[in-house]
Amino acid sequence: MKVEYSYLLEQFKVEESETKVKYVDLSKQANVEAILSDIKEVLLKTGQFTLGQPVADFESRFAKLCKTKYAIGVNSGTDALILALKALNIGSGDEVITAPNSFIATAGAIAVTGAKPVFVDVDDEYNIDADLIEKSITPQTKAIMPVHLTGNPADMPRIMEIADKHNLHVIEDACQAVSALINGKPAGSFGIAGAFSFHPLKNLNVWGDGGMVTTDSKELYEKLLLLRNHGLKGRDEVEFFAYNSRLDTLQAIVANQLLNVLDAITDARIRNAKRYDDALSDMADYVTIPPRKGNVKQVYHTYVILAKERDRLGSYLAEKGIETKVHYPIPIHLQKASKYLGYKEGDFPVCEVQTKSILTLPVHQHLTDDQVEYVIDNIRKFYKEA
Ligand SMILES: *Cc1c(COP(=O)(O)O)cnc(C)c1O
């Protein structure tokens, strides 16, 4: 079987030489000199390449950011989800409720533990519809895994209420939501565990893969320390068979430097989103922006609109040198991977309708005001000409 990776580049393809507004700009990294100097001073001098002091520092700073007692660095956001499920003994025979419109890793993490992902439709904020959760709870349900899609937290107060009533665990997929808040309370601090990703496309990015689990539970924390490191209690004693999912020291060095500028990254994304919101609210016949709640701080991992004639708009913007994306063109319940779960088209109407019109505009922290204006102007032009 040939595995194709070019899909990452092909959607609404813009020639490199013509690009005026990139979807992301990974060539621009914050604090590069400081990171390289830390690598020389800390990494190469200590010769400690996995875990070590930089990981411990990052974990304690990250726990503080999320207002949780503990944070455990792991290999990726996906591993953060898998290990959190494993730490809660969730696996074969269990069901975990989640959203069908996430990145595939959410359902994938549930499935690889042996548990069954059970999907619930989403609301007009692209998040799991809390009103529909209870209908999907069965005697096998062990947990709810809400996703804070786009960096907008799901309705955690409601979800925690439902979970408490039915005695279910909540694991937040906060991979897109570092620094997001509901009533001042951070994403990743509501459930028994929160999972974060530091993939290069995420708001707080490292130079490869990295992830974190947050929790207030000492028991879970101690289990996760073992789960990420072969079940090793010390050098030679193994409590139970487990994984190698340590966070690299090098990535923690990068993360510690990026954490110093996270507020600036978040503020720039919020400012860009606000400019889009203001301009696009004049185009309500063509473009729908999700509701924005006053008590919520969204961090705009992505800026997603519902657009009339989405595919034509995407191609038009590509012609103007503007990169856009669709997150995601095929909902998880309709993926080949989900076939054994028995879902069909029509099962999640809100998600499926959104899938046909969602478009992600560039919102990253390196955009200039002129670039944001250029995107807005071209969306306006497209609908005028249409
Ligand atoms: C990125 C992401 C993940 C997976 O994170 P990785 O670090 O790439 O493994 C999981 N869930 C969501 C919602 C994500 O956006």
Q: What is the pLDDT of residues 144-194, one digit of tens each?
A: 999 999 999 999 999 999 999 999 999 999 999 999 999 999 999 999 999
Which two tokens mark 223?
């289990």
Of 75, 127, 175, best ligand 1 pocket probe by most atoms within 8 Å of the beta carbon: 175
Q: Tell me the average pLDDT across 280-301.
A: 97
Give CA–CA dist 170/328, Å, rounded: 24
Find the 132 Cα to ligand 1 centroid distance in Å: 24
Among 35-49, 100-114, 218-232, 351-365, name the one with the lowest average pLDDT.
35-49
Instruction: Kindly report, residue by residue over 7-32, the tens digit of the pLDDT.
Output: 555 668 887 777 899 999 888 989 99
Looking at residue 144, its pLDDT comes to 98
Residue nearest to atom 7 of ligand 1 (CA): 77
Residue nearest to atom 14 of ligand 1 (CA): 175
Task: Note if the pTM is more than 0.85.
Answer: yes
Looking at residue 297, its pLDDT comes to 98
Find the 209 Cα to ligand 1 centroid distance in Å: 10
Position in ligand 1 atom list of the atom nearest CA 102 = 13
Name all residues whose Cβ lies below 6 A of ligand 1.
76-78, 102-103, 105-106, 147, 173, 175-176, 197, 199, 209, 211
Q: Tell me the average pLDDT across 322-344.
A: 97
Q: Is pLDDT at 125 greater than 70 in this prediction?
A: yes
Looking at residue 363, its pLDDT comes to 98
Q: Tell me the average pLDDT across 253-272.
A: 98
Q: Tell me the average pLDDT across 320-346.
A: 97
Amino acid present at 326: V
Instruction: Kindly report, residue by residue over 61-109, the tens digit of the pLDDT.
Output: 999 999 999 999 999 999 999 999 999 999 999 999 999 999 999 999 9
Q: Is pLDDT at 2 greater than 90 in this prediction?
A: no
Give CA–CA dist 219/172, Å, rounded: 18
Of 8, 127, 196, 199, best ligand 1 pocket probe by most atoms within 8 Å of the beta carbon: 199
HEC-encoded secondary structure of the chain: CCCCCCHHHHCCCCCHHHCCECCCCCCCCCCHHHHHHHHHHHHHHHCCCECCHHHHHHHHHHHHHCCCCEEEEECCHHHHHHHHHHHCCCCCCCEEEECCCCCCHHHHHHHHCCCEEEECCECCCCCECHHHCHHHCCCCEEEEECECHHHCCCCHHHHHHHHHHHCCEEEEECCCCCCCEECCEECCCCCCEEEEECCCCCCCCCCCCCEEEEECCHHHHHHHHHHCECCECCCCCECCCCCECECEHHHHHHHHHHHCCHHHHHHHHHHHHHHHHHHHHHHCCCEECCCCCCCEECCCCCEEEEECCHHHHHHHHHHCCECCECCCCCCHHHCHHHHHHCCCCCCCHHHHHHHHHEEEECCCCCCCHHHHHHHHHHHHHHHHHC
Among 3-12, 56-65, 270-279, 368-377, name the one with the lowest average pLDDT.
3-12
Q: Give percent above pLDDT 70 in the chain.
A: 97
Average pLDDT, the chain: 95
Looking at residue 6, its pLDDT comes to 56
Q: Give percent above pLDDT 90 in the chain.
A: 91
Look at strands 296-297 and 116-119 and give their pairing: unpaired
Looking at residue 12, its pLDDT comes to 80
Find the 333 Cα to ligand 1 centroid distance in Å: 17
Cis peptide before 221 (omega within 30 of 0): no
Burial 333-352 (b: 16+ CB within 10 A, else e): bbbeebeebebeeebbebbb
Q: Tell me the average pLDDT across 242-258.
A: 97
Looking at residue 105, its pLDDT comes to 98
Looking at residue 338, its pLDDT comes to 98
Q: Do 165 and 192 meet the contact criterion of CB atoms below 8 Å apart?
A: no
Looking at residue 5, its pLDDT comes to 56
Q: What pLDDT band is residue 320 in, cutting at 50, 70 and 90?
A: very high
Instruction: Kindly report, residue by residue over 204-245, the tens digit of the pLDDT.
Output: 999 999 999 999 999 999 999 999 999 999 999 999 999 999
Of 127, 171, 176, 301, best ligand 1 pocket probe by most atoms within 8 Å of the beta carbon: 176
Looking at residue 218, its pLDDT comes to 98
